[in-house]
Amino acid sequence: MLDLLKILFCTPFLLYSCYTDIKTRRVTNKLWVVMIACGAFFVLYDIVTGSVPYLLRLLISAGVIFALVYILFQLGSFGGADAKSLIVISIILPTYPVIQLFGQDFPLNDPLIPVFAFGILGNAVLLTVVVPLGLAAYNLFRMGLHIDNPLYIFIGYKSKISNLGDKHIKLIQSFEEENGEIKFRFKRGGVEINEDVISELKTMSEKGLINNEVWVTPGLPFMIPITLGFFVAVVYGDMITELTKYLILIR
């Protein structure tokens, strides 16, 4: 029952973080401060009732996740809000919650690594695979086989220059003029879109130097995969463990 209450407690914080991440690409630090402050009740209760064994699991969970997300953050692969959300979860739920509903035990599978937040991260990474596949399906449906840069279909889509403003997107390519022609080159990390960039693109389009559509890549808020990974971990377990088992068995 306590584990179910923890899940219900974490849910609104994660959903709100998704909302703000989508709207502004930012999540206020106050959200995680409030979450850990209010969740302290669960932590203190578990320490009192679980004694030393629980405290050991808590230290392992928080230590492993802190070290992991710190490394990812320093490498630029992780945002601050993503890291803080997993650290807070690792403290409130150091191990996988065990829930019984409708005569069924959840999660459905036993995780290889019993650190709940680690399973969430693994699930989130796997769930992001859906994004490039979705983009490819969208591009093929929209453009068919008439695609000027086939490899781009997995990382972006074409947008009209007039629609570039007020969106959380970047240009996939940088551009510059060479011998009276506009050359586009793939730019790792994308090109920030501002009023000057839009103005240059519009001018070049009006002169007939480029088409009125350019390749852009959306910035996916990672709080969405983390939140989905949270619920998948609660219900299903660790997707990476189960995928590994499947790959081993089919060999």
- 145-157 pLDDT, tens digit per residue, is 788 888 899 989 9
Distance from C-alpha of 137 to C-alpha of 130, rounded to nearest angstrom: 10
Across the range 214-241, mean pLDDT stands at: 91
Across the range 98-111, mean pLDDT stands at: 89
Across the range 44-69, mean pLDDT stands at: 94
User: 51 exposed, middle or buried (CB, 10 Å; 0-12, 13-18, 19+)?
Assistant: exposed
CA distances from 30 to 25, 34, 62, 144, 230 (A): 15, 6, 20, 46, 21
Q: Are 172 and 152 in contact (CB under 8 A)?
A: yes
The partner residues of 100 in beta bridges, in order of sequence, read 105
Distance from C-alpha of 241 to C-alpha of 123, rounded to nearest angstrom: 10
What's the alpha-carbon Rg for the chain, to the nearest Å? 22
Distance from C-alpha of 5 to C-alpha of 12, rounded to nearest angstrom: 12
Task: Kindly tell me if the per-residue pLDDT of 249 is higher than 70.
Answer: no
Kindly give, in sequence order, each residue whose CB lies less than 8 Å from that of residue 171, ignoring residues fewer than 6 positions away: 187, 190, 191, 193, 197, 214, 215, 216, 217
Q: State percent of the chain over pLDDT 90.
A: 52
The partner residues of 247 in beta bridges, in order of sequence, read none
Find tokens 């402050």 and name the residue.
37
Across the range 5-27, mean pLDDT stands at: 93
- How many CB atoms neighbour CB 150 within 10 A? 11
- pLDDT bin (cut points 50, 70, 90) of residue 134 is confident
- pLDDT bin (cut points 50, 70, 90) of residue 166 is low
Q: What are the boundaries of each domain within the chain?
A: 2-125, 130-218
